[in-house]
Amino acid sequence: MPSTSSLVTIGQEILALLLAATCAGCGRPETVLCASCRSRLRQEPVEASTPAGLRVVAGMTFDDVAGRCIRALKDEGQTLLARPLGAALREALSVALRGEDDDPVHVIPIPTSTSAFRRRGFRVPEILIRRAGFIPQRMLVVRRRRLDQRGLDAARRAANVRGTMRTRFTGRDEPVVLVDDVVTTGATFDEAAHVLRDAGFRVIAAVALAATPRHSERNANASGTRRK
């Protein structure tokens, strides 16, 4: 058990960290995430679909506050933000898993590249899944590197991710849900679903922490889906 002096030191270090912090959403000093920005992360889940028709549930739209918080987690290593972001992911997972109470569902993160893991020291989808209260099951691994998806249209994104994942597991029609931090066109989800279906799993949905306006608008225009 830590001594009283150790606890005091830890408390002082945490206080110093908070005093030096600025809100990831708006820049307000002395807080990691202010109450106003925290409330902006509590959105109703957004439903859409991938190009191949896989159902996608996103915890929020990738707007200014959500975007800044996700970038702070991914690019600046602000892992304290994983808890409020994980709460939003939990809502999306609850929607995606509705009606699947009879069978246990595998919650499978989109795999993180080795270079990204070395740079960050953690896997973003996995830490979000854990903060959402679920256990990530690493059934997918990176098979080959892919190019940066930014700036690519839907067709090029699909070609870029083709053959980039594999699994060593086999299923017997067990239900699975895929999880990633951000969805743009859904090409990565489609490729992961293809790999898992070939291995014998039943992919019931994909879940993202946030959906970019590009993804939300494309699906709204194509299928009439709307934010609830």
Q: What digits encode the pLDDT tens for the residues 176-185?
A: 999 999 998 8
Is 88 strand, coil or helix?
helix
Residues of the chain with CATH 3.40.50: 44-223
Determine if residue 74 is left, alpha or beta; phi over 0 gives left, psi from -120 to 50 gives alpha, anything else beta: alpha
Beta bridge partners of 206: 56, 178
Q: What CATH class does 44-223 carry?
A: alpha beta
- Report yes or no: 109 and 123 within 8 Å, Cβ to Cβ: yes
- Report yes or no: 60 and 128 within 8 Å, Cβ to Cβ: no
Q: What digits encode the pLDDT tens for the residues 109-135?
A: 999 888 888 899 999 999 999 999 999
| CA atoms of 172 and 107, how far apart (whole Å) | 16
| Stated pTM of the model | 0.81
| CA atoms of 156 and 140, how far apart (whole Å) | 22
- Report yes or no: 169 and 141 within 8 Å, Cβ to Cβ: no
